Structure 1
Amino acid sequence: MNDPAKRSAIREFPTSLHVSIVCISETKVAEVDEFYVSQCLGPSFDGFVFLPADETRGGVVMAWDTSVIQIGHVSFDTYAITGEVMTIEGAKWWLTTVYVPQAADEKILFLEELTERRSLCPGPWVVAGDFNMILNAHEKNNENLDRNMMRRFGAFVHEHELKDLYMHGRTYTWSNEREQATLTRIDRVLVSVDWDLQHFDSVLQGLSSSVSDHAPLHLALNAAFRPKRRFKFESFWLKLEGFEEAVKEAWVCDPAIVDPFRRLDALYRNAAEHLQSWGQKKVGNVKLNIAIANTLILRLDVAQERRMLTPMELWLRRMLKQYVLGLASLERTMARQRSRIRWLREGDANTSLFHAVANGRRVKNHIATVKVGDEIVTEQNLKVEAFTEAYFQLLGQMQPREHSINLDELDIPTAVLQDLDAMFTEEEIWGVVKDLPRTERQGRMASLERFTTEHGPLSKGTSSPDCSN
C-alpha cells in the first residue's frame, strides 16, 4: 500500500462504516507510523501495532480507536499479531490478525505457531485475515485444489473448536483479475464458541473489492436485527395443565367469515395469539424468572450466613432451587426446539450447543442489506417495504376484463361431482381390499382384523368377509 491513491480508497471503508478496529493483511511495507495509519484509516485510529513486511511480501497492521476500545498484551508471531481487546463495557476477548504466505512449509509453520499462541491466550478468540487456504472445495471456482493443506487447515479448525463465520453478500474474497478468473475464499473470520455465544448479534459481510484483488470483510458485533417476532408453538405446552381447554377457547373466529381459506387463516391467527398469551401467563419469561429466583436464593444464602433461617424461609429456599432446576430444563427444551437438532438425545449436549446452532441458522438466513436502485437499505422496516414493493410490482395488479366467455353457449358437457363428497361405503372398502395383490391384501386384512377386534365389526351383524382367495 505504498500508493497514496490506494490509501485514500481504503480510507473510505472505515470512514463510511464507523468501525472501531481495522486489520490489514499484506501491507507490503516495512515501516508503519502515525502518518501512514492516518492516511489509510483516518485520525481517529490513534492506536496501532504492525508486523513489518519481508521486502514486498506480507505485513500486518492492527489499528483501533482508543476512545472506544483498548488493545493490550500484544504479541507478535511470524505471520500474525495477537492482542487482548477490552471494550468500554468491560468485555474482553483475544484478536489475532494473520497473513499466511503461499508456500506450503510456511503454512504449516503458521498453523503450529497459531496453536501455540492459542495455548497462551485462553478465552474468547477471533482469528481474522488472509489465510491463503480454503476449508472446502466449493470455496474455489476450479478443481486445482491442495487437498492435503485443506485437511490440515480443517483439522486445525476442528481441534480448536472454531466456527467459520458465515459471510453475507459474497461467495469468494479473492480474484486473480484475469479474463478467466480464479476465485477463492481465502479471507475469513474464525471465532471460538464462547465468543460466538457472547456476540450472537454479529454479522459478517463481504464488501466491494474496490482497488484491491481482495474483498474487505466487515464484522459488525451489534448488528441489532430484530425481525417481527413470529408465533412459536412450544412443545412443552402439551404437558401443561389446561392446554386442551386453551386450544378450545382459542379455536374461534368471526361467524361472518364464510370463505373457508379466510376462515382457516382467522382461526390460526386467533389460536396463535391466544396460545401466546396463555403461555406467557402460564410460564412467563424463563430467563427473567431464573434471574429473580437466583436473586432471592442469594439473599437467603447471605441471611443464612448471619442467622438461622425460619422454617418458612428454608421452605422458600428449597422451593426456589427446585424452581430454578425446572426452569433450566425448560429453557434447554426450548433451545433444543429452536435449534432443530433431532439427532441428540436428552442429556447428550448442553443448552449452549442448541443456542449456537439456532443462532448460526438465524445469522445465515438474515438479509443484512438490500440494494434498492442506487441506495443500500439496512433498516428492517425499509427492507420490508422494499421487498413488498418488489413483489407487488412482480405480481402486478388485477385489471378489469373487457370481455368474458359465456360457457353455456359452448355446449361443454358437465360432470356431476357431488358424489365425490360422499363417504366411502363398507362394500367399497372391502372391494378395494379384495382387489389388492395377495401380500398386500394379507397386510390390510391383518390391520382390519385388529380394528374389528378392538372396535367391533365394521357393520352391525356383519362379520369380516373371506378375502383369502
Structure 2
Amino acid sequence: MVAGDFNTILNASEKNNENLDRNMMQRFRAFVHEHELKDLYMHGRTYTWSNERERATLTRIVRVLVSVDWDLQHFDAVLHGLSSSVSDHAPLHLALNAAFRPKRRFRFENCWLKLDGFDEAVKEAWVCDPAIVDPFRRLDALFRNAAEHLQSWGQKRVGNIKLNIAIANTLILRLDVAQERRTLTPVEFWLRRMLKQSVLGLASVERTMARQRSRIRWLREGDANTSLFHAVANGRRVKNYIASVKVGEELVTDQEGKVEAFTEAFDDPQV
C-alpha cells in the first residue's frame, strides 16, 4: 500500500516546521494501527515533498505501508527516496531483492546459557597460542577463538531450529495417525512423548533468540509472538542497511566495495 497525501504524516519529525494538524496525524496513526500496517523505512531522504519556495516547507507525505506477513515474505525489500527531478514530489523506489547480506558475524545467543555444557564449552574455547605475548593481541586471539568455538558448539547443540521443529511435528503427525488405527508400541509412545517435549524446548529457544534479535523488552519471553519479533528484527536490519558509500566523487554500492572503503577509512583516518 502506497500512501500519499498532505495528511499522511505519522510523526512531527516528518515536517520541517511546527504547522501541524495533530488531529489528522492521530487519525492516520489510528488507521495504521487498526490495520496492523508497517511503515517501511526510507533510505536516502527524510522528506518527500517541497513547496519549492525559498524558505521551503518540507514534509514526508509519500510512504509505503505493508502488512507484517508481506514484510516477512520480502525480507530483502529496501525502500529508497529518489530525486524530485522536475516535480515537487520525490518518487520512491522499492527493491524487492536488495543484495544486503553481509558476511555472517558472531552473535552470542542468550539461549546458550540454558543449555547443558555451556560452561565447559567456554572453558574449552578460551585458549590461544602461548607464543602470543602481547596482551592486546592475546585478548583478540582469545575472543576470536571463543567466538568460533561457541558458534560451532551452538550449531551442534541447537542446529536449525525451524527444520528440527518441522521434522518433529511431521513425526508426531504420523504417530498421531497411527494411534487412531491401533495402539502404539511402548517405543512409539515414548518417542511421541519425547518429540512433543522437544518441540516445546525448541519453541522456547526460538522465542528467546527472536526476542534478543528484535530487542523488544516489554513482552515476556513466554508470550512472545515470533512473527512480530522477526518483523521488528527485520525492520532494524533494513534501517541499519547502508545502501551506498561516497568515496571522493565515486558512489560505491556493491558490498565488497563498501567493505573495502570502510577498511581503508579505518586504516587511514585522513581518507
User: TM above 0.5, one fold?
Assistant: yes
Q: Which residue of 2 aligns with 1:451?
A: none
Q: Is the 8 A contact 2:82 2:91 kept in 1?
A: yes
CA distance in 2, matches of 1:216, 1:337: 35
Q: Choose from 224, 233, 241 the match for 1:358.
A: 233
Identity of aligned residues (%): 85
Larger radius of gyration between Structure 1 and Structure 2: 1
Q: Secondary structure at the match of 1:394?
A: coil
Kindly indicate whether residue 25 of structure 2 is the aligned counterpart of residue 150 of structure 1: yes
Q: Which residue of 2 aligns with 1:124?
A: none
Kindly indicate whether residue 85 of structure 2 is the aligned counterpart of residue 206 of structure 1: no
- Note the alpha carbon deviations across 1:363-410, whole angstroms, 9 max, x for none: 1111123344555433222221222234444346xxxxxxxxxxxxxx
**AA aligned opposite 1:235:** N
Q: Which residue of 2 aligns with 1:64?
A: none
Kindly indicate whether residue 197 of structure 2 is the aligned counterpart of residue 316 of structure 1: no
Q: Secondary structure at the match of 2:200?
A: helix
Q: Secondary structure at the match of 1:353?
A: helix
Q: Is the 8 A contact 1:300 1:317 kept in 2?
A: yes
Q: Choose from 275, 284, 301 the match for 2:150.
A: 275
Q: Which residue of 2 aligns with 1:242?
A: 117
1:336, CA displacement in angstroms? 0.6
How many residue pairs align between the two structures? Answer: 270
Q: Secondary structure at the match of 2:148?
A: helix
Tell me: CA distance 1:223–1:304, structure 2 relative to 1, closer, same or farther (3 Å): farther
CA distance in 1, matches of 2:3, 2:35: 17
CA distance in 2, matches of 1:209, 1:388: 33
- Note the alpha carbon deviations across 1:37-60, whole angstroms, 9 max, x for none: xxxxxxxxxxxxxxxxxxxxxxxx
Structure 1 runs (4+) deviating above 6 angstroms are none
For structure 2, the residue ranges without an aligned partner over 5 or more in a row are none
Q: Is the 8 A contact 2:244 2:251 kept in 1?
A: yes
Q: Is the 8 A contact 2:83 2:91 kept in 1?
A: yes
**AA aligned opposite 2:229:** F
Q: Choose from 148, 170, 175 the match for 1:295.
A: 170
Kindly indicate whether residue 254 of structure 2 is the aligned counterpart of residue 379 of structure 1: yes
**AA aligned opposite 1:272:** A
Matches within 5 A, 1:177-192: 177-192=52-67
1:223, CA displacement in angstroms? 1.9
Q: Which residue of 1 aligns with 2:128?
A: 253
Q: Is the 8 A contact 2:40 2:79 kept in 1?
A: yes
CA distance in 2, matches of 1:295, 1:232: 30
1:277, CA displacement in angstroms? 0.9
CA distance in 1, matches of 2:174, 2:253: 45
TM-score normalised over the length of structure 1: 0.54
Q: Which residue of 2 aligns with 1:327?
A: 202
CA distance in 1, matches of 2:267, 2:150: 32
Q: Which residue of 2 aligns with 1:174?
A: 49
CA distance in 2, matches of 1:129, 1:377: 31
Q: Is the 8 A contact 1:174 1:214 kept in 2?
A: yes
CA distance in 2, matches of 1:207, 1:306: 63
Q: Is the 8 A contact 2:207 2:221 kept in 1?
A: no
CA distance in 1, matches of 2:222, 2:199: 17
**AA aligned opposite 2:218:** W
Matches within 5 A, 1:70-469: 127-133=1-7, 134-304=9-179, 307-372=182-247, 375-395=250-270
For structure 1, the residue ranges without an aligned partner over 5 or more in a row are 1-126, 397-469
Q: Is the 8 A contact 1:131 1:188 kept in 2?
A: no
1:300, CA displacement in angstroms? 3.2
1:299, CA displacement in angstroms? 3.4
**AA aligned opposite 1:230:** R
1:139, CA displacement in angstroms? 0.7
Tell me: CA distance 1:221–1:301, structure 2 relative to 1, closer, same or farther (3 Å): farther
Matches within 5 A, 1:29-44: none
The structure where helix makes up a greater share of residues is 2
CA distance in 1, matches of 2:249, 2:3: 30
State the Cα RMSD in Å.
Answer: 2.0
CA distance in 1, matches of 2:224, 2:161: 20
Q: Is the 8 A contact 2:204 2:222 kept in 1?
A: no
Q: Which residue of 2 aligns with 1:106?
A: none
